Amino acid sequence: METIKFKFLFVSAFLCCIVLGSCNMQDYDIQIPERVFGKLNILQKDLTIDVKEQSSLSFEYQVTGATEQIKLETKIANNHYHSVLSYRSEELEWVDVSVFDIDLQEVIDKKNMNIIIEKHAKTLKKKYDAKTVSRISDILEGLPELLYNELGQKEYNNESTFSVFYHLAAFNTARRSLEKRWSGDCQCSFNSSYLYGKTPFFCTEDVMVSADWFYDFIMEKSEINKFGGIQFTPKSLLKYLSDNSGQFVSASIVDKLLREELDFFLRKRSIKERQKIISENTTLPMVETVKTRSESFCWPIDPLCLFMGVFCGSDCGCCGNYSGPCLYCDTGCLIHDLTCQECSPPSYCLSGCVPGPCY
């Protein structure tokens, strides 16, 4: 297999690989935005382990060589989540540029966070111009790593601290829309690695994978993992990747195209062909599928796992890390697992990371 190449749009996820050279297992081809350096000053912190308990964090970040500051104040109390991001320049008064004021249960459930981010990004897009949104996004980029170094693993893994990622995701989403880098208006697709506790929150659109590397990955899996002896070749996806050779493409687009083509391919299979596929892959969890009123059979909960060659909950590409068969796979979880083979950087891989080679 060729060298794995992918990137995240937030600098913190790979900063230690670039600066410290700690990612010796992989040769990452990463294009990262210019980092805005500065000094972090923790004003107040009360960080508990249980998200349902009261916690709070506030800090200021002074940009080096500029009269710009960022201030974050987040508080969890009385089943409420309140986080305010403020900005000021030229020693003017603080301006609250981003406010999350939501029910704590929304944060605990996680399922609607991408919708909350999308709505928030639309508000930011209406209030600020592209230059302001881009500047604040750039400043926020390096904060996760600085916070991890300042707080340590225990206090970093707290929803008050993770509020930085919600603000960053909203500004990145608004930025993509303002710069017309995305067809949808302020779109933030749900990232499965966040749902399963592997990473803090970020939009799948902000995870970029090398088109060339993923083309080779798809071709390799297509040759190895056949469906009852029938080869699946996602032609539309391969054409998209070929047309973008030498570029980075969004993991959300790649995952969507792959799933659509795989679903069409499997729906064309006869009952006999499907039964053969199942007989060759008995380790995955199954769900009853009805083709006609008289015909029913079991089918993998997530057929993408078959194509990716993922069977156990601990396999790379499985969303989660658990014993037993894998329930769900996607491109975002695969990229996370490839990145975190050495559980570094910890500001992205989090404390639940289990080190180990993928392939």
227-245 pLDDT tens trace: 878 899 999 999 999 999 9
Span 34-78, pLDDT tens digits? 567 889 999 999 998 777 778 999 999 999 888 899 999 999 999
Q: Could you give the angle at which helices 251-267 and 331-339 cross, rounded to 10 degrees?
A: 130
Q: Report yes or no on 317 lying in a domain.
A: no
Residue 293 has what pLDDT? 42
Contact 184, 220 (CB under 8 A): no
> The pTM is what?
0.76
d(CA 206, CA 225): 29
Say how many Å lie between the first and final Cα of the chain, rounded: 9
Please, what is the angle between helix 143-156 and helix 163-178, to 10°?
Answer: 150
Does position 14 have pLDDT exceeding 70, yes or no?
no
Mean pLDDT of 147-175: 93
Instruction: Categorize the per-residue pLDDT at 9 as very low, low, confident or very high, splitting at 50, 70 and 90.
Output: very low
Q: Report which secondary-structure segment, H or E, holds 331.
A: helix 331-339
Confidence band (pLDDT; 50, 70, 90) for 285?
Answer: low
Q: How far apart are CA 190 and CA 168, in angstroms?
A: 15
Say if 57 falls within a structural domain: yes
- Render pLDDT for 127-143 as a digit per residue (tens, 0 to 9): 999 999 999 999 998 89
- Mean pLDDT for 283-306 is 58
* Per-residue pLDDT at 15: 29
CB contact burial 101-130 (16+ within 10 A = b; e otherwise): ebebeebeeeeebbebbbebbbebbeebee
Distance in angstroms (rounded) separating the CA atoms of residues 188 and 172: 9
Report pLDDT for 135: 92
pLDDT band at residue 125 under the 50/70/90 scheme: very high
Residue 157 has pLDDT above 50, yes or no: yes
Q: DSSP letter string over 118-181?
A: HHHHHHHHHHS-HHHHHHHHHHHHTHHHHHHHHHHHHHHSSTTTTHHHHHHHHHHHHHHHHTT-
Predicted confidence (pLDDT) at residue 212 exceeds the cutoff of 90: yes
Question: In the predicted model, what is the mean pLDDT of the chain?
Answer: 81
pLDDT tens-digit readout, 307-325: 888 888 888 888 877 777 8
Report the domain count for the chain: 1
Sign, Cα dihedral of 270, 276, 279, 284: negative
134 occurs within a structural domain: yes
Q: How much is the pLDDT for 290?
A: 44
Assess if residue 90 is contained within a domain.
Answer: yes
Domain that holds residue 53: 33-188
Mean pLDDT of 317-334: 82
**Dist. CA 180–CA 175, nearest whole Å:** 8
